[in-house]
Amino acid sequence: MYEGVVQNLIDELGMLPGVGPKSAQRIAFHLLAADPADVKRLAHALLEVKERVRFCRVCGNVAAEEECRICRDQRRDPHVICVVEESKDVVAIEKTREFRGRYHVLGGAISPIDGVGPDDLRIRELMTRLADGQVTELILATDPNLEGEATATYLARLVKPMGLKVTRLASGLPVGGDLEYADEVTLGRAFEGRRLLDV
């Protein structure tokens, strides 16, 4: 144990995801030795992120203003919505530059064990967005694990009466990988989701 303030800092850092007690101690001593201006900038960034960043009124993505950059962008296709679990999934999809529609961030997936039901996710907001009939396709891009699949099934059933096109991201083989190294579940999924080769 260290003197009060140092130990406080280590304890606080240790609560961050992916930071264990050893790393927390290392970061704390790095900060102690660092230039005061650098530390001030870090502290400022931390405070600012809590004060200024909010969640987009429309899609739930992190935003610096009332609406996020993507929702404000008039060039984005308003007819397609891609549903993801977290804001970081938006970033991952944006990096592909494949998708030109809009997003909806749920804020998690249905998981009774964690006490998360549909009312805890931004599903009501999604239904409101779909109500005006402008959206024609809903892409379900929740994680390909049990909870993500369950959430996708739930949403697909919920929007079924609306008659819009509902798609799920394909799961299967990684690009550049070897078939023989794929695990059997992934390979099985890839078989289920095989498609016609158009030549």
Partner 1 sequence: MRVCHLSLTDFRSYPSAEIALEPGVTAFVGPNGHGKTNLVEAIGYVATQSSHRVATDAPLVRHGAERAIVRALVARDERRALVELEINPGRANRARVNRSPVARPREALGLLRTVLFAPEDLALVKGDPSERRRFLDDLLVARAPRFAGVRADYDRVLKQRNTLLRTAAATKGRRRGPRRQDDEAAFSSAGAGDVLSTLDVWDSHLVRHGAELLAARLDLVEALRPLTAKAYATLAPASAAADLEYRTGVKLSTDCGRSRDILEEALRASLAEARQAELERGVTLVGPHRDDLHLALGELPARGYASHGESWSFALALRLAAYDLLRADGGDPVLILDDVFAELDGQRRTRLAEIVAPAEQVLITAAVPDDVPAELAGARFDVTEGSATRVR
Q: Is 185 in the site for partner 1 (CB under 8 A)?
A: yes
Q: In degrees, to the nearest 5, what angle opens at C-alpha 180 toward C-alphas 169 and 183?
A: 50
| Of 3, 35, 51, 184, the one binding partner 1 by CB under 8 A | 184
Distance CA 30, CA 2 (A): 15
| Cβ proximity to partner 1, 9 vs 147, nearer residue | 147
| Cβ proximity to partner 1, 150 vs 190, nearer residue | 150
For residues 86 and 17, the answer to whether their CB atoms sit within 8 Å is no
For residues 70 and 103, the answer to whether their CB atoms sit within 8 Å is yes
For residues 69 and 79, the answer to whether their CB atoms sit within 8 Å is no
| Cβ proximity to partner 1, 113 vs 197, nearer residue | 113
Task: Write the binding mask 128 to 157 for partner 1: x where contact by CB under 8 A, - elsewhere.
Answer: ------------------xx-xx--xx--x
| Cβ proximity to partner 1, 70 vs 116, nearer residue | 116
Q: Are strands 54-55 and 62-63 parallel, antiparallel or unpaired?
A: antiparallel
Q: Is 89 in the site for partner 1 (CB under 8 A)?
A: no
Q: Is 196 in the site for partner 1 (CB under 8 A)?
A: no
Tally Cβ neighbours within 10 Å of residue 141: 21
Q: Is 27 in the site for partner 1 (CB under 8 A)?
A: no
Residue type, 94: E
- Range 96-125, binding partner 1 (CB under 8 A): 110-113, 115-120
> Percent helix, strand and coil across the chain, each rounded to 5?
50, 10, 40
Q: How many residues bind partner 1 (CB under 8 A)?
A: 21
| Cβ proximity to partner 1, 4 vs 115, nearer residue | 115
Q: Which two tokens stand for residue 139?
A: 């892409």
- Which residues in this chain contact partner 1 in the complex, by CB under 8 A? 110-113, 115-120, 146-147, 149-150, 153-154, 157, 183-185, 188
